[in-house]
A and B are shown apart, each in its own frame.
Chain A
Amino acid sequence: MIQIEAKPWQTMVLHAERLYPNECCGAMLGHTQGTDKLVTEAVPLENSFSGKQNDRYELKPEDLLAADKAARARGLDLIGIFHSHPDCDAYFSETDLKNSCPWYSFVVLSIQNGKFDHANSFLPDLDQTAAEPEEMKWPKS
C-alpha cells in the first residue's frame, strides 16, 4: 500500500496540471516499512523526452540520482516515480511498462482537460512484462 500525504500530493497534482497538455514526471520520497510506503515529499523533475511530450516522458538518470542523494541526505527513501497521462486514463501503458523498473511504485495521474481526474499506482515486475495495481491512498480518498 502506498499512502501520499497532502503536501506532496498537492505538489504532484499542481505539477501535472501545470505541464498539461504535456506529460509531467517526478520522484516521491518518504518512508518504507515492508510493503507499506508513506510519501512525505514529492520532487517535480524535468521531462527530458526529446519529441512531443504530450504522450511521452523520460527521466534523466542524473536527476534521479540527485533525487536519491537528496533523499538519503534527509534520511528519506526514494519510494516511487509519478507521471501524468494528459486526457488519458491512469493506466500503465505498454510504453510505461517497457521503460519501468521493479524497484519503485509508479503513480500515474490522469489529467483531463487540464484538471486532475483520477490516479493509480502500479508495481512492475522484474522482466517488465506485467505491472500489478498497488493500493493507493491520497488525501480525500
Chain B
Amino acid sequence: MAKILIPTALRQFTEQSDAVEVSGATVGEALAALTARYPEVKKNLFNDQGKLRSFVNVYVNDEDIRYMDKTDTKLEGHETLSIVPSIAGGSTAVEEQAPPLTNDEIARFSRHLILPEVGMQGQTKLKNAKVAMIGAGGLGAPLGLYLAAAGVGRIGLVDFDVVDVSNLQRQVIHGTSDIGRKKLDSAADRMKEINPNIRIDKFDTGLSSENAFDILRDYDIVVDGTDNFPTRYLVNDACVLLKKPNVYGSIFRFEGQATVFAYEDGPCYRCLYPEPPPPGLVPSCAEGGVLGILPGIIGVIQATEAVKLILGIGDTLKGRLLLYDALGMKFRELKLRRDKDCPVCGDHPTVTKLIDYQQFCGIKPMSNQPAPADSAVIDALELKQKIDRGDKFVLLDVREPHEYQIARIPGSILIPLGDLPKRLNELDKNADIVAQCKSGGRSQKAMDLLKQNGFQHVRNMTGGITAWSDKVDPSVPKY
C-alpha cells in the first residue's frame, strides 16, 4: 500500500483524512484508486480530458514524477505520495485586467478626466501603459516629469550616467543636491515625488545590442532621449524589429527635431538617415553646446506624442519630421516616407537582428585603438612640470575663442582648430609644441594636421584643460 498525503483543501472530499492508503502498481493506478474512493477529488486533480491538471505535481517520496516516468512511475507499495501544486505569478498587468482608478487617482487626474478625449477610459489606458525612456538627461528630464505627472503607470528608465553640475542648465529633473548621484535615482525620486502611484523600472546600464530586446520587450512605446548615433540606430532597429513605436527627438545648439518612427506603416530613422555621419562631424552637446531650454521644448513634444499614442487620439508625427528653430522661433515640417529599400523596415530587410552599432557608426572600440606612442602625448602633470622647468615650448590651444574666454592655461596661444590650416605659418616647424583643447579630441586632430605638415615635435595633451583643472589647478573652471 502506498500512502497519499492529502492537501488541506482536498480533505473536505476525503472525510477529513490527511493521508489515504491505496494500492496500485504505478502512480497513475494509485491516483485512480484514490479518486475511485473519493470521486470529488478527481476534478481537482484531473481535467476533463483525464490529464493531470497543469498545476498538479506529484512526488513519490521526494522525487517529482515529471523526472521519472510520470504517471507510469512504478510503485513498490511502501512509498509516500505528495500532491504539490506549482505556483507562480507576477504583477505584470494584462490589458483586460485593468485595475480601476482609485479615488485618489480620480482626484489627481480630474483635469484629464473631464476632457472627453481622455476620460476614465483614457486615464486607465495611461495607467496601464508601459513606456521605456532611453536616457534621463536633457530630453529625458521633461519626458520623465510629464509622463509621471500624466499618470503613465509604468516607466522604464535606462541610463548609466551620474548627475554633473554642467547638466543642471537643462536637465531639470535633477537638482543641485543630486550632483554625483545616479541620474536614474535622482530622476526616479523626482518622478515618484510628482506621482507616487507609478512604477519605475531602473536599468542602470547603457542600452546595447545585447540587452536592448530584453529591456524594451516589456514596454509598449520607446522614447529616445539619447545623445549619440550608435544608440539612436540601435533604438531604431530594436523598435522596428520589436514593432514598437519610437518617439524620437534630437537637439543641437538652438535647433531640435522630433517625430514618431516605426509606427504603423510609417518610416524609421534609417529611412531618413540610412548612413550615420562620419564620427566627429556632428558635435555632441558637450562639444557643441546647447541652449538649456531647447531639450525642454523637444522633450515635451516627445511626451505629448507618447501620450497621444497611448490614448489613440489626434494626429501623431508619424511621417512628419518637426523642425524647431529657437533663434528664429519657428516650427517647420518635413514629410517623411517609409523607404521600401530601407535595410531594416523596407520590403526586403537585410538587417534582421541587432548589429554592432559602434562599428556601424565608424567608432572603433577602445581596445582596438593603438595606444599612441608615449612621446606623442603629455598629461596634465607632465605639462605642469614642463612649465615649471622653464622649458621653451609652444602651448597651442585649439579651442574656440569663447571657450578661451571661459578658461585657459597660462602661457597658451589660441589658434582654433578650424583656423589652423591657414595659420600654420604662425608656428615654427622645429618648435616643441603641445596641442591642447577641452578634453583631448580636437588637439589630437591638430597634432595629426601639424605632423602631416612637417612639424617635428608635436604632442597632444591628454584630457585637455579639464584634466588641468582636475589635476593641477582647480581654480581653472571646468565647463
When A89-B99, A113-B192 are in contact, do A55 and B87 touch as well, CB less than 8 Å?
no
Smallest beta-carbon distance B132→chain A, Å:
14
**Contact A93:B10 (CB < 8 A) given known A64-B87, A65-B82:** no
Task: Tell me the smallest distance from the CB of A31 to a CB of chain B, in Å.
Answer: 10
Rounded to whole Å, the gap between the CB of A32 and the closest CB of chain B is 6
On chain B, the number of residues with a Cβ less than 8 Å from chain A's Cβ atoms is 38
Chain B residues lying within 8 Å of A23, measured Cβ to Cβ, are 90-91
Question: Number of contacting residues on A, CB 8 A?
Answer: 44
Distance of B306 from chain A, by nearest CB (Å): 20
Q: Which residue in chain A gives the minimum CB-CB distance to B197?
A: A112
A86 and B199 contact, CB distance less than 8 A:
yes
Q: Is B161 an interface residue, CB under 8 A from the partner? A: no
**In the complex, are the beta carbons of A93 and B92 less than 8 A apart?**
yes
Residue A88 at the B interface, CB < 8 A? yes
Closest CB-CB distance, B4 to chain A, in whole Å?
A: 13
Instruction: State whether the Cβ of A72 lies closer than 8 Å to any Cβ in chain B.
Output: yes
Q: Does A77 contact B (CB under 8 A)?
A: yes
Instruction: Say whether, besides A56-B90, A57-B89, A93-B91, A100 and B199 are in contact (CB < 8 Å).
Output: no
Cross-interface CB contact of B99 among A79, A91, A95, A126, cutoff 8 Å: A91
Contact A88 B85, beta carbon cutoff 8 Å: no
Given known contacts A99-B87, A100-B87, is B8 in contact with A55 (CB within 8 Å)? Answer: no
* Pair A99/B93 contact, Cβ less than 8 Å: no
Q: Shortest Cβ distance from B156 into chain A, in angstroms?
A: 10
B233 within 8 A of A: no
Does any Cβ of B come within 8 Å of A94's Cβ?
yes
Quick one: which of B10, B43, B44, B91 contacts A55, CB cutoff 8 A?
A: B91
CB <8 Å contact, B84 and A68? yes
- Chain A residue contacts of B54, Cβ below 8 A: 128
- Does A2 reach chain B (CB closer than 8 Å)? no
Which residues of chain A from 66 to 87 have a CB within 8 Å of any chain B CB? 68-69, 72, 77-79, 81, 83, 85-87
Contact B55 A95 (CB under 8 A): no
B62 contacts partner chain A, Cβ-Cβ < 8 Å = yes
Other-chain contact of B88, A54, A59, A69 (Cβ < 8 Å): A59
Whose C-beta in chain B lies nearest to the C-beta of A65?
A: B84
Q: Quick check: is B64 within 8 A (CB to CB) of the other chain?
A: yes
CB distance from B126 to the nearest CB of A (A): 15
In the bound complex, what is the Cα–Cα distance between A59 and B87 (angstroms)?
6
Instruction: Report whether B88 and A49 are in contact in the complex, using a CB–CB cutoff of 8 Å.
Output: yes
Residues 73-114 of chain B: 1 if any A CB is under 8 Å from the residue's CB, otherwise 0? Answer: 000000000101111111111101101000000000000000
Contact between B199 and A87, CB atoms less than 8 A apart: yes
Asked if B5 lies at the interface with its beta carbon under 8 angstroms from chain A, I say yes
B59 interface hit (Cβ, 8 Å):
yes
Report chain B residues within 8 Å CB of A104: 9, 85, 87
Q: With an 8 A cutoff between CB atoms, is B57 at the interface?
A: yes
B203 CB → nearest A CB, Å = 10
Q: Is the CB of B55 within 8 A of A85?
A: no
- A58 interface contact, C-beta 8 A: yes
Instruction: Confirm or deny: B18 has a beta carbon within 8 angstroms of a beta carbon on chain A.
Output: yes
Q: For the complex, what is the distance from the CA of A61 to the CA of B201, rounded to whole Å? A: 29
Instruction: Please give the distance in Å from A101's CB to the nearest CB on chain B.
Output: 4
- A97-109: contact bitstring with B at CB < 8 Å (1 yes, 0 no)? 1011111101000
**B368-386 interface with A by 8 A CB criterion:** none
Residues of B whose CB lies within 8 Å of any CB of A are 5, 7-10, 18, 43-44, 53-57, 59, 62, 64, 82, 84-94, 96-97, 99, 192, 196-201
List 24 interface pairs A-B (beta carbons < 8 Å), by A numbering.
A25-B87, A56-B89, A57-B88, A59-B88, A61-B57, A61-B64, A61-B85, A62-B62, A65-B84, A69-B82, A79-B8, A89-B99, A91-B99, A93-B94, A93-B97, A94-B97, A95-B89, A95-B90, A96-B89, A99-B87, A102-B9, A103-B7, A126-B44, A128-B54
Given A78-B8, A79-B8, A87-B198, 11 additional A-B pairs, CB 8 A = A32-B8, A49-B88, A57-B89, A58-B87, A64-B85, A68-B5, A81-B87, A87-B199, A88-B91, A113-B192, A126-B43
Question: Top 5 closest A-B pairs, CB basis?
Answer: A103-B9, A94-B94, A96-B89, A101-B85, A56-B90
